[in-house]
Each structure stands twice: as structure tokens, then as C-alpha cells.
Amino acid sequence: MKIQWMGAVVVALFASSALGGCGGDDDEDGGSVNVTALCQKGCAATAPLNCPNDDPATCVADCEAEAGDVPICRSQFNRAFTCVANRPTSDFECDGFGEAMPKAGVCEAENSAVFACVLGG
């Protein structure tokens, strides 16, 4: 299951690996983040929306799996992921696919940094 509230961050990174892993990473470990805690916060923030295609029972485990699979631009991803996961419920909405997604403009600078990294900028 795709954790939509992680936003376009993961989509950009996985798309880049399909293109041969273009882009780079500005450090090896990408800075530490507590993935479990961030996943718990993000899942708790989006659960009240009751989006029809979200599964609160597997949200944290699915989130942890996706966050651990980031192939490149780890530090940029970590900053964007931290930003999104720490947003209040009011910053999310159910998208057209029935899944929680950050509203337009939420963590825009952080997501832009991920795209810039992926594109090699």
C-alpha cells in the first residue's frame, strides 16, 4: 500500500530509481530520523480523516517499509518526511483515490528540495 500522506516525496524518489538512479545524495546516512515515531505521528494525523482507501491498522508498518526503501537523496527525503509527518490533521485531505494526502503547499520547500536532488540540481 502506498502511504499517500508521505506525499510526492516517495513518488519522486522511486521514479528516479526507475530512471537509473539519477540525482545524488549529499551524505551517506542522510541524517538520522526516528522513522517509527514519524510514521506514528503521520498516521495519527491522517486517521481522523477516515479516507476510504487508507488502512489505519497497517499504516505505521507500511510507512516504515516505504521510508526504509528510499534509494537516493536520503537527507532531502528525511527533511520532507519529517515536515509532512509533523503536520496537523488540518493540513491533510482525502484525495481522489480515497487516500490521505497533504494539502497543496504543505511542506512545499522540502518537497521541492527532493525533486531538485532527484533531478541532479
pLDDT of residue 17: 40
pLDDT of residue 2: 60
Q: Where are the domains of the chain?
A: 4-118
The pTM score is 0.77
Q: Rounded to an integer, what distance in angstroms lies between the CA atom of residue 70 and that of residue 30?
A: 10
Q: 63 near 83, Cβ under 8 Å?
A: no
Q: Sorting pLDDT into bands at 50, 70 and 90, what band is 4?
A: low
Q: Sorting pLDDT into bands at 50, 70 and 90, what band is 32?
A: confident
Q: Give the mean pLDDT of 8-16.
A: 46
pLDDT digits (tens, 9 = 90+) for 48-95: 999 999 999 999 999 998 888 888 899 999 999 999 999 999 999 999
